[in-house]
Chains A and B, each alone.
Chain A
């Protein structure tokens, strides 16, 4: 039985290596099965759609929200409003701008770089605590706890509460995976419940920060009065939930994919050990080669649009497979080669356009520090399982575990 390319992408059997399917998919730049989404897989088409103001990210513009598991339908009273990820301008711009004030330039140009030392300490601490070098699960012992600790510090969420928000975060992240076999209504409801509970948890923290502000993002967001005024409480909860989840569900994959790729490319790993500065181009190439977000399944046209001779009708569900665009030979020479010396590397790993990854500067820094330190400290590291077991999720794709071993851990 031949499966449609769409089912093949979602099929767990292909999780470890979806790239041959993407290659197949690119032969039809705009792929469409009856009733299914319109799937765009080629670099230039994806890029231009990401800059196309006829394309909406707001689920309310989908012809039928029922079939969209990601719809954060605002009709029901007991749910959070959509985060800026799922809004169009001007609401998107306003919320993103307000969120950016305590995070990045021009108002907080040093926030991220100022965390460098702190991030380094967290990395060292985690590596120090690894224990038996003969069997390490890099995900459990390093790449998951690292970004969680970081995002908790940045936001001002107590690290001890990780057990509480972990389950909610898992449910929300899983809902991003458009599993065709799951009942969309049921999954949507589960995700909404999880967002609501996460929101209530964050509401408690925010209340506390309002009274006793500290130098963390929740305090700043809760108390700031910029030119855009203050965020409404519900907006603030959605934003905080977005930052908390996006702040670690993706970086864990970037770091894990990174180590996996380095172990498969020992010469690069060797170079990185000798030259930690190489982490910068390595991370850029990783974002092209194994992007932690594989596809963006949440766009819709506001009007019929034509892409490569195919008319995508107004309200249709539109998927942009950025991981495929990143390996488009029309854009990148030898796209399936992992090459940190690549100079022309305008990848789509962080998306592009107004929704391009908000946390990119933090994610970059985290991955650079993590990989260069792992390369430096793990002695003769090797994979114990290749491919490693993957998470179910086809959108936020990455290994569930990464069993590795090394001869020892350098101080």
Chain B
């Protein structure tokens, strides 16, 4: 491969296929062209739409500030690609280097980028999930349909799951004056991602905005009327909530089923890849022609003990896509590692929430600036004596500082005075994450701790 001119040939007349035509796929394709790739580029996407942006779908779109069809991602440059939209990839032949499509076509490649992302986890009982008025929110079509229903003025919306998306939906409903009940299995909203201390703040925020928040309960069943419309939700505490719209926000499932049997190391937890975005096969051997980026990827991060991280973060998708594109066209010595420090934002109930690092790895939290009672603060997460993450509620401008602490493995708790340090923040306290062996729906970061060199690494086949 190296030094024999094949890389030059690839750049000039190679074939690159990108499966998954969304944020990561688009940014990778743009980067390929930017880096001088002149060969043929094929973009395969199962959605019929050109690449669009998801964060507004649970925010501005639900509020009616914009519409779902106006979320197309801005293009950084002309792509000159063959678009295969509305067609899913259904299989991969690694030996022959071909991607099979749902319409029977096969597309050959010299390099493949997999950016198939995740999809919303549906309500597990199909007959109930199919009731009219039961929604999930992942795609543009989901968002348009839900927005239409909200515009009809439902009496009450019932949200299952108080992760980021569920909380944002509840927030949008309240802002529109719609009654909302949120049911959450954990003790508070956002607990999986940010822990119980911050979760308690989020709970207060919701209640203060008139959300009927029910924590530590499970939804046991959804009930429909004779016409097949949802009319009530039943909870594990024996209560029933009458509702005409249910939004299921139970996190996401990785889109890897199409790779079953291909020999690629793809499973329900995503596709494992190295720090340079190259996919592993099921034997744990890194491939040289298949790359992964975005929500579907799991990659080891040096800053976090080489743990394999799956990040459902916008910024991660962009950065990883750019690195993958660069590496695809580079000699091994010129490849770059994907070392993006995780960062995430959300806005709900008028509060801007931002995090850096991996708060969910933290065991302790220190309210370093501001105060929990004011709901304006920076919480710093500590793990084994070092700073591992930080979250800001309406205090985002300080986060670059904390990112630097994370990047330099600064000691926890930070030993120096800071502006706006309050009595709340004199000592670290238990961050109060739920027992990791108990599942909560969709924390935005999931960790699974096998290093690439770990002999015990096992492959879990797709279900």
Contacts and interface: CB of A to CB of B under 8 A. Distances in A.
Interface string B410-425: 0000001111101000
Contacts of A47: 400
Contacts of A53: 368-369, 378, 398, 401, 418-420
A54 B416 contact: yes
Given A53-B369, A89-B369, A89-B370, A48 B401 contact: yes
Contacts of B455: none
A303 B418 CA distance: 8
A121 interface: no
Contact of A54 (B397, B399, B417): B417
B418 A302 contact: yes
Nearest to A303: B416
A354 B397 contact: yes
The 4 A-B pairs at the shortest CB distance, nearest first, are namely A89-B420, A53-B418, A88-B419, A303-B416
Interface string A264-304: 00000000000000000000000000000000000000110
Interface string A241-259: 0000000000000000000
B374 interface: yes
A55 interface: yes
Nearest to B371: A90
A52 interface: yes
Nearest to B419: A88
Interface string A70-92: 00000000000000000011100
A113 interface: no
A302 B416 contact: yes
A42 to B, nearest CB: 16
A118 interface: no
Given A89-B369, A90-B374, A48 B417 contact: no
A302 B420 contact: no
Contacts of A303: 416-417
A51 B376 contact: no
Nearest to A106: B350
A54 B418 contact: yes
B49 interface: no
B404 interface: yes
Nearest to A52: B401
Contacts of A106: 350
Interface string B392-412: 000001111100100000000
Contacts of A356: 397
A93 interface: yes
Interface string A49-65: 00111111000000000
Given A55-B419, A88-B419, A302-B418, A48 B368 contact: no
A75 B420 CA distance: 22
Nearest to A56: B419
Contacts of B368: 53
Contacts of A361: none
Contacts of A120: none
A64 B362 CA distance: 40
B305 to A, nearest CB: 26
Nearest to A93: B376
17 contacts: A48-B401, A51-B397, A51-B400, A52-B401, A53-B368, A53-B369, A53-B398, A54-B416, A54-B419, A88-B419, A89-B369, A89-B370, A90-B422, A106-B350, A302-B416, A302-B419, A354-B397
Interface string A20-61: 000000000000000000000000000110011111100000
A53 B404 CA distance: 12
A353 interface: yes
Nearest to A87: B419
A127 B342 CA distance: 52
B404 A48 contact: yes
Given A90-B420, A354-B397, A354-B398, 13 more contacts: A47-B400, A48-B400, A51-B401, A53-B398, A54-B417, A55-B419, A89-B369, A89-B370, A90-B376, A106-B350, A303-B416, A303-B417, A353-B397
Given A88-B419, A89-B420, A51 B398 contact: yes
Contacts of A51: 397-401
B366 to A, nearest CB: 13
Interface of B: 350, 368-370, 374, 376, 378, 397-401, 404, 416-420, 422
Nearest to A58: B419
A51 B403 CA distance: 11
Interface in A284-339: 302-303, 305
Nearest to B394: A93
A48 B420 CA distance: 18
A53 B419 CA distance: 5
Interface string A87-106: 01110010000000000001
A52 B419 CA distance: 9
Contacts of B422: 90
A64 B376 CA distance: 31
A86 to B, nearest CB: 13
A302 B417 contact: yes
Nearest to A57: B419
A90 B400 CA distance: 19
Nearest to B402: A53
Nearest to A49: B401
A285 B423 CA distance: 43
A89 B419 contact: yes
B347 to A, nearest CB: 11
B337 to A, nearest CB: 21
Contact of B420 (A52, A88, A305, A353): A88
Contacts of B376: 90, 93
B63 to A, nearest CB: 12
Contacts of B370: 89-90
A56 B419 CA distance: 7
Contacts of B369: 53, 89
A172 to B, nearest CB: 25
Contacts of A305: 416
B394 to A, nearest CB: 9
Nearest to B415: A303
Contacts of A302: 416-419
Contacts of B378: 53
A56 to B, nearest CB: 6
Interface string A200-224: 0000000000000000000000000
A106 B418 CA distance: 28
Contacts of B420: 53, 88-90, 93
Contacts of A54: 416-419
A203 B401 CA distance: 40
A54 B404 CA distance: 13
A45 B378 CA distance: 22
A48 B408 CA distance: 14
Nearest to B398: A53
A383 to B, nearest CB: 39
A388 B164 CA distance: 56
A356 B397 CA distance: 10
A106 B401 CA distance: 26
A55 B416 CA distance: 11
A300 to B, nearest CB: 11
A356 B416 CA distance: 24
A48 B417 CA distance: 17
A356 B400 CA distance: 15
A101 B397 CA distance: 19
A93 B375 CA distance: 13
Contacts of A48: 400-401, 404
A302 to B, nearest CB: 4
